[in-house]
Chains A and B, each alone.
Chain A
Amino acid sequence: MTTAAPDTHAQKPHLTREHLLHLLRQMIRVRRFEERCVELYQQEKIRGFLHVYIGEEAVAVGVLETLEAADTVVATYREHGHAIIRGVPMDAVMAEMYGKAEGCCLGRGGSMHLFDAGTRFYGGNAIVAGGLPLAVGLALADRMAGRHQVTACFFGDGAVAEGEFHESLNLAELWRLPVLFICENNLYAMGTSLERSQSQTDIHLKAQSYNLPAEVVDGMDVVAVEAAARRAGAFIRSGQGPYFLECRTYRFRAHSMFDPQLYREKAEVETWRKHDPIDRLTSWLRETGTLHDVDLLAIESDATMEVDKSVAFAEAGHWEPLEQLTRHVYTERALP
């Protein structure tokens, strides 16, 4: 860590019971949504590539908790959770997973390309590291327009090998742009482990080499992630430039649906499961007497109902007419 933001009260999470239950609820919403997606994929309701976020929920929940409405989000193809947490209605996300016209992108994007103007959610990018330059540009626009907003840019450890990662970090720092870079380091770029692809596996060091303030965060601890994101946000909003968080996390399921996981040991997965961010928060809350069975039951019940409702919404949705095939390629402008 080269530069740490001052540790003031304002930057600390408000660890009230209500807030902690909120964090738990958010993670469980994502978990249940993703589990249902796996099921729907196997029923061929959802097609294409499907990358679920199970195991990594604490990162998106912790970071997005700290953003304001006018802030911007750029994510990857493993972004269903980010969209839901950011506030895109689960109905619209599920309908998009189905490819229905009621989806958040009219079904045109599908699972890897969720966009939502209302929540300033800029995808959903299937090119590893492809979102980083966009985030730099979005931040540049804020900066030039005098808006003091943060662009949160999520990417995985695989992105670190791409030139766009290095180009973007350099440019963001050079121009002191308000970007929060969040590396979701789940140790595998698809099936290639970090140590098999990087000479330097401490990713935050790479960011530091471009003079970005960077820190390592336990990505399985939603409270720790939120705390780090608040520190980063305060730094960025103060106009000092970008900030880098390396969140160490793990995906419990395969990279995508068609993946026998030959590249990692089952034991390794089991070890990481012991750090499941939802179990961890639940246990802690139970130990501290903050969470009771009835609370958890209510959270689970709400989540299940919300997912059920989203599936019903998607099922009832309709397919965009074929006549509209070539729409949305160029802006349709009314004739003068």
Chain B
Amino acid sequence: MTVQTAAAPKSGVVGNVVQTTYREALHDAIREALLKDQRVFLMGEDVGRYGGCYAVSRGLLDEFGPDRIRDTPLSESAFVGAGIGAALGGMRPIVEIMTVNFSLLALDQIVNNAATIRHMSGGQFNVPVVIRIASGAGRQLAAQHSHSLENWYAHVPGLKVVAPATVEDARYMLWTALEDPDPVIIFEHVMLYNVTGILSADGGPVDIGKAVIRRPGRDVTLIAYGGTLGKTLDAAETLEADGIAAEVIDLRSLRPLDTGTILRSVSRTRRAVIVDEGWRTGSLAAEISAIIMEDAFWDLDAPVSRVCTAEVPIPYPRHLEQAALPQPAAIVAAARATLGR
């Protein structure tokens, strides 16, 4: 965990763009939401005094007080359920679950209540809760702290699942999520918190339902999200040197999936490689592959390829952990294979 020295994260303004980190962007987004809407509050384990396990909420307790920055007991089911209940009661809670493994203790509330109440009530009640979850591997946190279970949640109708992969999305997705009348789960990859990026100082809310082409190309489509976007862009750079123009799609929204953007790109490049930090079996990559098979089969020039995490609980030693995860070299190889090279 990286701890910042400043009491509150500072952003260095350069012209009309801001140089900031993913962590600071999230912090600024939460702060902006708290200022904009009195119904918004942050709740979770160690979000207050401690400043957040990943230091995202550092300084907010001092500014907004314990009523709106709520430290909770280690009772995931109760505080996530309370977030759902508060949303039902008219509030706009931001619930932070420290890491995705702990979210399993609240799975009942998320899947059985948040996702279903709108439907069960025949549309009478909606659940405008936002749940932030840190996920992913790469920090040598071993098997229980390194899951990528985004697809478990993306499986469930009634939930919306987003994965900001850039500083800009970290900064501007939250407000859109809070404005959404339905439950939105935001997955923040732990390797991104320290990533620095530039965003426009006056950027507005983003459409969280749409994928974005982060790099255009004509030869092969690389589909990634969250923590794998950077690796995929690195791979595209390598491929460029080989004369292969890879198009990189950042899914951003894992549910609903922006199938239009995926299919339009793949129909153009005729080749797809899906990069997913989830385990291959039953992965989101499998779902996307199936969508491509169903709707773009006759446009394909190569089998759809997946680069996923090896079928093993994430090991502690760095070399094994890195070997288990999708890496640029594997993405490059998969992309080349779709071109018969």
Contacts and interface: CB of A to CB of B under 8 A. Distances in A.
Within 8 Å by CB, do A and B touch in the complex?
yes
Interface of A: 72, 103-109, 113, 115-117, 122-127, 130, 132-142, 144-145, 163-164, 167-168, 170-171, 174-175, 327-333
Interface residues of B, number: 43
Nearest to B85: A137
Interface in B295-325: none
A123 B114 CA distance: 13
B124 interface: yes
Interface string B48-83: 000000000000000000010010110101111111
Contact of A171 (B72, B91, B108, B123): B72
A115 B121 contact: yes
A140 B77 contact: no
Nearest to A145: B90
A109 B122 contact: yes
Given A133-B80, A164-B108, A108 B119 contact: yes
B118 A136 contact: no
A122 B88 contact: yes
Contact of B158 (A109, A163, A329): A329
Given A115-B125, A328-B123, A137 B82 contact: yes
Given A167-B78, A170-B75, A137 B121 contact: no
- Which of A107, A122, A132, A141 gathers the greatest number of chain B CB atoms within 10 Å? A141
Contacts of A333: 181
Nearest to B89: A141
Contacts of A132: 78, 81
B113 to A, nearest CB: 6
Given A141-B91, A329-B157, A123 B120 contact: yes
Contacts of B83: 137
A105 B81 contact: no
Contacts of A331: 118, 123, 126, 180-182
Residue picked from A106, A125, A136, most chain B C-beta under 10 Å? A136
B293 interface: no
B87 interface: yes
B8 interface: no
A137 B88 contact: yes
A153 B93 CA distance: 21
A126 B158 CA distance: 17
B120 A168 contact: no
Given A117-B125, A141-B89, A174-B73, A134 B81 contact: yes
**Among B79, B88, B89, B90, residue most surrounded by chain A Cβ atoms (within 10 Å):** B89
13 contacts: A115-B121, A125-B113, A130-B108, A133-B80, A140-B82, A145-B91, A167-B75, A168-B81, A171-B72, A171-B78, A327-B123, A329-B118, A331-B123
A130 B120 contact: no
B41 interface: yes
Nearest to B92: A141
B117 interface: yes
A328 B118 contact: yes
A164 B82 CA distance: 11
B158 to A, nearest CB: 5
A167 B105 CA distance: 12
B26 interface: no
Given A133-B77, A138-B89, A171-B73, A113 B120 contact: yes
A171 B113 contact: no
Given A141-B87, A171-B75, 18 more contacts: A72-B89, A105-B122, A109-B121, A117-B121, A117-B125, A122-B85, A132-B81, A133-B78, A134-B88, A137-B83, A137-B86, A140-B82, A141-B86, A168-B78, A171-B82, A328-B123, A330-B158, A331-B180
Contacts of A115: 117, 120-122, 124-125
Closest 5 CB pairs of A and B: A137-B85, A133-B81, A141-B89, A167-B78, A115-B121
